[in-house]
Structure 1
Amino acid sequence: MGKLLKVAIIATVLLAAVSNQAAWAQERKKTPALREQVYSQLARAQELADAGDVPAGLQVLQAVEQKLSSMNSYERAMLWNFYAYMHYGQDNIDQAIIYFAKVVDEEALPLALEQNTLFSLAQLALGQGNYQQSLGYLERWQQLVPVDQHSKAFVLKAQALYQAGDYAAALMPITQAIDGAVAKSVIPDENWLVLQRAIYFELKQTDQVAKVLEQMVRWYNKPEYWVQLAGVYGQLGEEAKQLAMLEAAYQQGFLVKGTDLLNLAQTYFFSDLPYKSGRVLEQALADQKVERNLRNLKMLAQAWVAARETDKAVEALAAAAELSDDGELDAQRATVLLNAERHQAAIAAAQAALTKGNLQQPGTMHLVIGMAELNQENYNAALQAFARAKEFEQSRSTASQWQRYAEAELEQAQRLAEINRS
């Protein structure tokens, strides 16, 4: 705190000199002198505060305040200024604001002191959540400084307007601050773009949110901005850009959260790239970045099925089936195995599905068993399975067709057998 107070006093002495350089200061009332007897007491209060005895320093200020009627406006302003800095140093911001406000309420202040105090008040009020008060102090500050210095307050004004809920008004000053930095070939402060992005979001201007994030990716290259930009592209229906961003982020090692990896896997899948989807999800599961739960294993299986990776699909379906309360995943596994002409495995999976139960179309599993048996020329077993399939309305018509086909195949096999025996 001592260092803060010393800076305050040095700055105060210099401020009077600075104010005399401004052309518009000529119309202001002349600032009265700070008498030695007042200054010495203020300096004593500072020394006590520097030594860590703030209460004693405040007592000295209170003693000075007893002589308030004999003090001029500049001496009073300095007294309030010391009060303010002491309270600020003790993190008593509300009291600091009260005393800084007393400073600017005095007449005939050095211009720079009034300017800086008003700006400090705007910052402190913003920090305390008093947004309209902050904007009021900024308006008074702007009346005291030339237009070419207004840029100093662009960000502060935008923050206060944003917090006050006036998003449309907040957009102009933050954009001016960013454009000013860019015009000087300087990368703007990252928080400025964070604020601009938030404003566009509140204004529901998603295309502008994307443009801000594009700049954030270019200037700051943080993983979260790549992911956020991909998400915004998705909202805008620009799936190709969304995938490109996610893929580039993944290749740079920026996707470390399970949610981001799942998002990439889903984006790959819906972009007709199921193999890449499976690879990403398989690695995420192996790295324990995503939970090995039913939902994620079903997603993995879906990717491998679409990619026609039979072994991987069967493995994922079997793992998912262990976590499921019904036989649907075993039923899907049976179908995959049948299509891969792994007949015995298909029969076993279909039987597992029927045993587990709760199937939407149980007749289909009897069809799978029948077809697998038929492909192995086990005609009687096939006919038995088709007969069971006919017991279910959804599979009755198909089962009848397969039954007739199996009977014909059986009859032909029997005739061939008789010919071979003769």
Structure 2
Amino acid sequence: MIRLNGFDTSGLLRSVATLALAAAMTTIVLADADAQRRNRNQEEENDGADRTFTARVGEIVLEAQEQQGNDQFSASIDTLNRALGIDGINPYERSVCLQLRGRAYYETERTSQAIQDWQGAIATGAMLSEEIVNLRINIGQLLIANEQYNEGIRSLEQAIEMGGEEAVNVGVARMLAQAYGQAERYREGLRWAERFWELRPAAERSRGDYSLMLFYYQQLDDVPNQFRIIEGMVARWPTEKSNWRSYASLLAQTGREEDAFEANKIMYINGMLTESREIVAVAQYYSFYEYPYRGAVILERELNAGAVERTSSNLQLLSNMWRQAREWERAIPVLRQLAQTTGDGDDYLKLAEALFQEQQLAEAEEAFQEALNRGGLDRPGTAWTMLGNVREELGRTESALAAFREGARYNYSRETANGWIQFLVGRQQEAANRVRIRERVRQEECRFAVEDLRATATLLGEIDDSGRIVIDVPDNCRDLYNQYGERLNQNVAEGEEAPAEATEDDTESDAG
């Protein structure tokens, strides 16, 4: 039940003999000493208006008051109905009975009937202005509680119009601000919100008070005042996560992303961020502002601690951060787990790239091949080209060429792949030419060596049993000449190299 504005009937009608004196104390709303004094002055100046009880009505009212004192509110309604049904009841008596019955209705949660009775009491014309002001405030409060916001506003403002500035206190100003907000009349209600803010001592302002002001400034897109209120909340309650989150959100909304990042860092450092999505957001901030290493360290630590869910998307984020930071060694275990979990070709491709960067070539070749086998790659031509690079570094030129030829089938990778093909084929040709040149030089050297040996043998008379000159042919020439210095291969013209092919090993050793 809503607590009304100082409801008090304890001074009502203590005895029939003093009804006239007690009448000055029948106001439903408790007034302070000064207000009571003003009521008495107004009563004295009431031009002789009848503010007395007859004995008959007074007895009934006393009975109703005693019932209400014993919390017998339903019984008091029946009692007051008897009084209100008496012929000739005067306006003052009627106003008191309606006020009391309205209170009983209020206490039994029949607010519409309470409002009706209190409005009827005012309509009698027998109430003092101070009493009317207080009763209108109570009526306004109940109307607002019943979601009759505009009617509630009207009642409160009527009270203020009659009572002047003295009728405006912290509670009334706050009620009006809330009612205008509920009615979505923000521009009209702002003056009451700001009036309430001024009346409320700074040391007594609650979170709800700050929230009320922030609500108004948000609805009116008043960004400077939003910052003023939120910064005040952060300063007053520095350990409250909700305040920091509101502050970070406003910073982000106004384009101050780096400041929002700093606010989120403060929350994380102070242990305010406990939800998985909050920690992930902080890690993403680090990545976005080119601190991927720090973001990855945070995310990995929280994943290992169980604070962040070990989902594919979070593992993907972690692997991307390690890759962005060029921490390939730390990325590999995450990428391997991710690829095995998802079975996605693109995840195997990322694993292959990391393995290649770490020169784990054999594993990189397997991962590239697995990525291509699983398919679904955005740029398979690039994957083929990278596989060619791995194979080339492994010294497997022919299989590298095969991969590069696959890469050359795609427009976006054709130029790179063809460049590698030309390079490798050219290197093979150069190696073959070097083999031919070496062979030609060897043959020439052998020819000269054999000729010298034969000349020397002739002079020394080194002749075998058959009478033929014998020479000691050098080891590297024995495939060309026999012991008599005669060419073994008669099909090769003198000065030409014997047929020879460059092996893949020859190619790689020459290229080295």
Same fold (TM > 0.5): yes
Q: 1:61 to 1:50 in 2, by over 3 A?
A: same
List per-residue Cα deviations over 1:184-206 (Å, max 9, x = no partner): 55242322221221122222233
Name which structure has the greater RCO, CA cutoff 8 Å, separation 6+: 1
The one-character-per-residue Cα deviations of 1:303-354 (angstroms, maximum 9, x if unpaired) are 2221222233233333444554741222122222222322223222212211
Whether the aligned pair in 2 keeps the contact of 1:123 and 1:156 (CA below 8 Å) is: yes
Within the alignment, does 1:171 sit opposite 2:185 as a pair? no
Q: Given the alignment of the two structures, is residue 73 of structure 1 paired with residue 91 of structure 2, yes or no?
A: yes
Are positions 1:383 and 2:383 aligned together?
A: no
Partner SS state of residue 331, structure 1: helix
Aligned: 1:239 with 2:276: no
Letter in 1 for 2:176: K
Q: Which residue of 2 aligns with 1:205?
A: 222
Among 242, 261, 268, the alignment partner of 1:250 is 268
Matched position secondary structure for 1:341: coil
Q: Are 2:506 and 1:414 aligned?
A: yes
User: What fraction of aligned residue pairs are identical, expressed as a percent?
Assistant: 23
Structure 1 match to 2:74: 55
Q: Identify if the C-alpha distance between structure 1 residues 252 and 96 changes in structure 2 by more than 3 Å, giving closer, same or farther.
A: farther
8 Å Cα contact 2:329-2:358 kept in structure 1? no
CA offset at residue 134 of structure 1? 1.0
Name the CA distance, whole Å, in 2 between partners of 1:23 and 1:42.
Answer: 21
Deviation per CA, 1:343-388: give whole Å up to 9, x if none: 2232222122112211111122222222122222232332222222
Q: Please give the alpha-carbon distance, in whole angstroms, between the structure 1 residues aligned to 2:367 and 2:164.
A: 82
Kindly indicate whether residue 288 of structure 2 is the aligned counterpart of residue 196 of structure 1.
no
Q: Is 2:235 the counterpart of 1:218?
A: yes
Unaligned runs of 5+ in 1: none
* Cα distance change of structure 1 residues 355 and 187 upon mapping to structure 2, 3 Å threshold: farther
Q: Is the 8 A contact 1:293 1:323 kept in 2?
A: no
> What is the CA-CA distance between 1:148 and the residue it aligns to?
4.7
- In the superposition, the TM-score normalised over structure 2's length comes to 0.72
Out of 337-346 and 44-53, give the one that drifted further: 44-53
- Larger Cα-atom Rg: 2
Q: TM-score, normalised by structure 1?
A: 0.86
Q: CA deviation at 1:289?
A: 4.7
361, 385, 388: which one aligns with 1:367: 385
Q: In 1, are the aligned partners of 2:427 and 2:507 still within 8 Å (CA)? A: no
**C-alpha distance 260-405 of structure 1, shift in aligned 2 (>3 A):** same
Residue 423 of structure 2 is aligned to residue 405 of structure 1 = yes
Match of 2:315 in 1: 297
Label 1:255 to 1:189 Cα distance change in 2 as closer, same or farther (>3 A): same
Return the letter of the residue paired with 1:217.
V
The residue matched to 1:145 in structure 2 has which SS?
A: helix
Amino acid at match of 1:346: A
* Partners of 1:286 and 1:306 in 2: CA distance: 20
Specify the code of the residue in structure 2 equivalent to 1:306.
Answer: Q
Gap change, CA 1:207 and 1:340, over 3 Å in 2: farther
Query: C-alpha separation between the residues in 2 aligned to 1:174 and 1:234?
Result: 26
Report the 3-state secondary structure (helix = DSSP H, G, I; strand = E; otherwise coil) of the residue aligned with 1:404.
helix
Tell me whether 1:307 sits opposite 2:325 in the alignment.
Answer: yes
Residue of structure 2 equivalent to 1:278: 296
Q: Which amino acid aligns with 1:90?
A: T
Deviation at 1:248, TM superposition (A): 1.0
Conserved? CA contact 2:404–2:421, under 8 Å: yes
Q: How many residues align?
A: 415
1:396 matched residue in structure 2: 414
Say if 1:73 and 1:165 are closer, same or farther in 2 by CA, change over 3 A: same
**Equivalent residue number for residue 159 of structure 2:** 141
Q: Is the 8 A contact 1:318 1:333 kept in 2?
A: yes
Q: CA RMSD in A?
A: 3.2
For residues 284 and 109 of structure 1, do their structure 2 counterparts lie closer, same or farther at Cα, with a shift above 3 Å needed? Answer: farther
Structure 1 residue matching 2:422: 3-state secondary structure = helix
Corresponding position: 1:131 with 2:149? yes
Change in 2 beyond 3 A, CA 1:64/1:392: same
